[in-house]
Amino acid sequence: MFPPQARPSTGAFPVSAAADTDHPALIDGVGMLTYAELTERVDALAGCLPEVHTGRRLVHIPLTARRDVVLGYLAVLRAGHVALVTPPEDAQITAAYPPDVWLRADGTFSEGVEAQHELHPELALLLSTSGSTGSPKLVRLSHSNLASNADAIVAALSISPADRAVTSLPLHYCFGLSVLHAQLRAGATAVLWDGSVTDSAFADELRRCRVSLLPATPHVADLLDVQGVLDELPSLRLLAQAGGALPAARVRELDARGRAGGWALAVMYGQTEATARMAVLPPELAGAYPDAVGWPIAGSAFRLDTAGVEQADGAVGELVFTGPGVMLGYAEHPDDLALGRMQTELRTGDLATIDDAGLVRIVGRRSDHVKIMGIRIDLGQVERALRAAGLHCCVTGTDDQLQVTYTPCGRTPNAVRDSAAAASGLGASVVSVHEVPQLPILPNGKPDRRGSAALHEPTSVASDSVLSVLAPLIGRGDIDLDRSFAELGGDSFNHVAASLGLTRLLGHLPTDWHHRPVRELIDLAAQRGAEPRRRALTQRVETTVLLRGAAVITICGSHVGLFRLAGGAHILLAVAGFLFARYVLSAQETTERVRRTIRGAIGIAVPSVAVAAAMVFGFQWIHWSSLAFVHWLVRPGEINIFWFVEALLIASAATTAVLALPRVRAAYAADPWRAAMAALVLLLIPRYVVPALFDGPVRGLPGTVAWLFVAGIALAVASTWQRRLVAAGVAVAATVGFFPVWERTLIIQAGLVLLAFVPTVPVPRPLVRPLGVLAAASLHIYLVQFQVFAFFDSPVAKFTAALGIGLVFCLISTAVLRRLPAFSEKRTAQCVVVPS
């Protein structure tokens, strides 16, 4: 225990003590939080933490841009404890540094345990180094580090209380966190955005909140530019760029556009080890010095160390930084948390020049450092870690890729890639691996790193393969590689074809493939295409595809009496909700959700109306109410062969309409799973009440089956295994007693469990293509089956004809839909299946 005089001061950072109490401090989808409200909430949360005099605690903060989590983070600093900030669901760091207290996703703290670590009184924050994200190596930062750096940024960027900055970067990333610190230190406003900058709602949020300061890495700046954000944001005052070098030509371009558009560009330079930013190029000088990173921030300085740098004139050296933002030091073991200041200067690893006016220009990097996607990686550290694990390798890298060249080691390429990803903290999608009989070497016997890097030159084969699958489905030849399948117009109609086609290329499809940029899918295809793979007897198929194909077989087979496996249509309703969450609710903007819902409704209604019209006017087999999709309202006590279509259309439209309500939309944005579970519980009321009060075929009415649709949504948005278990448990329990036949209940329960816990299923390879065709045409087979049955006597003939005619009807329907305005830009491909 530290003596009282050594305890850290509390409350001084990061919130400004001079901020106007009525001024907005935070804005998010829920609303506004003033500085008075912020202070009150933070103080209340700080009071929930153990008293400092009982021992300072290490508090794990899985930091995201959600209000409750941000308030919890500020409360930890306010209370005087130490914040261990990690990305969400990072178990590697917390295993190495067991926290005393955990911040939960809802902003509450776990019960504190006795202090396990000796924490130095100056220590306030622990962050992963940009070169060791996901490893036990942490940067130790003090309260004075945070305060001094935030103050310097406020001064350098002229941040005033009128400024509003958006969290366009992850808050567990030092650049992103410094944006929050600087805004609160200046008494300004931070706009919390927890989604991707590629989301269609992001630009609307910027305009709605009148954002004036937009932080961006070079990659983020490009994404914003593609979407036209920089030219359509009247409130923008400053584009603050860091996290990697912008080419001089790009700086000139952005500077010129900013001058024309009424905003400015601030080029910055920083590292986690210096708290955040070390240098800023004043916006008014961006055009004059596009190749520079500026001057050191207030109270700091740079010098060059030319030792070991082969430059004849001595003008280039390693950039060394000094100032109040320099970290206390690294922590590589829990015992290091008790250490005080271990260094007073930071060797950046970057080669630079400093002119007579003190202007800094970065001209290169030492060979053992590289920035990949804006994250600084120590290649030597990664290589040493892999060699220590028994891999004879050479590690190189570019701005887009970590490259591992290795000799045979008895491991699969995927295993090597995973090891490199773990050692660097990068995602496996940006790791390229290449096996060679012998590592390239130079004449002097040293590793030929340039030769090793050349082995990883990208190929266009993977790109062509992925695009050949996606282009016909979304009706575009010029696919934006930084957008996902869902953003490009993918939906539940063309989901089957895309899923099977990409599975053929990738071997195993990530569960969130539909939300990954196409560029990542190309990288995965390139990596896996380079791996020797024998042709397996089975191919893994997404469970949604399997359920759709199997359900339509069981529905038709049961109706003609080949077997009795009822319940397929109710499973399809849950699958529909699952895919609705993926492709419609993934759009955060209400107008886009409405557009996607209408598009989906047209895809269902057009073939349904065609079939119903033939049955009403041609054969007079059904009542006109089925044609208008109101049979459930006009004749609720009669059997309705179109009950599934009516329930699906009403559930889809009602979900989108309810989520358009501001309070409901905010609740869903804050926690989609909680909102979906609340809706599921509410919809269980008619599920139990209606069958209890009324006789007849009431188990197909929209109100009594809507809970299945919403259960599918809850399963799709459940972010953890525990949440999937709860959602599946409620849904499975709700099936009990819904039907008098227990076999049907068991079938529906099995489908829900598969949907919840088994993302992919191995299918014999010869069956994959037929299964995909049936899954894609499931709606059309369902629609035509009863008409087809009337013309055949044999159950086998009825069954076979229903499938065949349904497939033909699917092809015709697809051709018609492609000519409708809603489908003209992004073509559907319900019946297109890439051969396996």
In this structure, are 471 and 616 located in the same domain?
A: no
In this structure, are 734 and 805 located in the same domain?
A: yes
In this structure, are 648 and 764 located in the same domain?
A: yes
114 compared with 3, residue with greater pLDDT: 114
Q: How confident is the model at residue 138 (pLDDT cuts 50, 70, 90)?
A: very high
**Is 478 exposed, middle or buried, given 0-12, 13-18 or 19+ CB atoms closer than 10 A?**
exposed
In this structure, are 392 and 403 located in the same domain?
A: yes
CB 134 within 8 A of CB 93: yes
| Half-sphere exposure (Cβ direction) of 371: Cα atoms closer than 13 Å | 20
Percent of the chain scoring above 90 in pLDDT: 41
- What's the distance, Cα to Cα, between the start and end of the chain in Å? 65
In this structure, are 601 and 705 located in the same domain?
A: yes
- Decide if 598 is inside a domain: yes
In this structure, are 691 and 553 located in the same domain?
A: yes
Mark which of 490, 523, 542 sits at the end of a domain: 542
pLDDT tens across 366-418, in order?
656 677 766 778 787 788 788 888 898 989 887 778 899 998 888 888 889 88
Q: Are strands 58-62 and 101-102 parallel, antiparallel or unpaired?
A: parallel
Q: Is 625 helix (H, G, I), strand (E, B) or coil?
A: helix
pLDDT, residue 532, reads: 42
Domain containing residue 416: CATH number: 3.30.300
In this structure, are 487 and 584 located in the same domain?
A: no
- Decide if 811 is inside a domain: yes
pLDDT, residue 372, reads: 75
- Decide if 617 is inside a domain: yes
Domain containing residue 516: CATH number: 1.10.1200.10
In this structure, are 572 and 626 located in the same domain?
A: yes
Number of structural domains found in the chain: 3
- Decide if 215 is inside a domain: no
Which residue has 């005089």 as its token pair?
A: 5
Distance CA 188, CA 169 (A): 18
In angstroms, how far is CA 834 from the centroid of its own chain?
27
Average of pLDDT values for 816-832? 53
Parent domain of 496:
460-542
pLDDT tens across 780-812, in order?
888 888 778 778 888 899 889 989 998 898 888
Distance CA 384, CA 374 (A): 22
Mark which of 514, 542, 570 sits at the end of a domain: 542
- Decide if 791 is inside a domain: yes
In this structure, are 391 and 534 located in the same domain?
A: no
Distance CA 699, CA 741 (A): 13
- Decide if 748 is inside a domain: yes
Transcribe 376-436 into DSSP letters. Answer: EEEHHHHHHHHHHTT--EEEEE-SS-EEEEE---S--HHHHHHHHHHHHT--GGGEEEEE-
In this structure, are 624 and 752 located in the same domain?
A: yes
CA triplet 388, 393, 397: central angle to 5 degrees?
110
- Decide if 597 is inside a domain: yes
**Whether residue 246 has pLDDT greater than 80:** yes
pLDDT, residue 300, reads: 96
In this structure, are 390 and 533 located in the same domain?
A: no
- Decide if 681 is inside a domain: yes
pLDDT tens across 196-244, in order?
888 878 988 999 999 999 999 887 888 888 778 888 899 999 999 998 7
If one counts every other C-beta atom within 10 angstroms of the C-beta of residue 223, the result is 21
Q: Tell me the pTM.
A: 0.51
In this structure, are 652 and 765 located in the same domain?
A: yes
Structural element, H or E, at residue 329: strand 329-331
Mark which of 507, 542, 577 sits at the end of a domain: 542
**Whether residue 132 has pLDDT greater than 50:** no
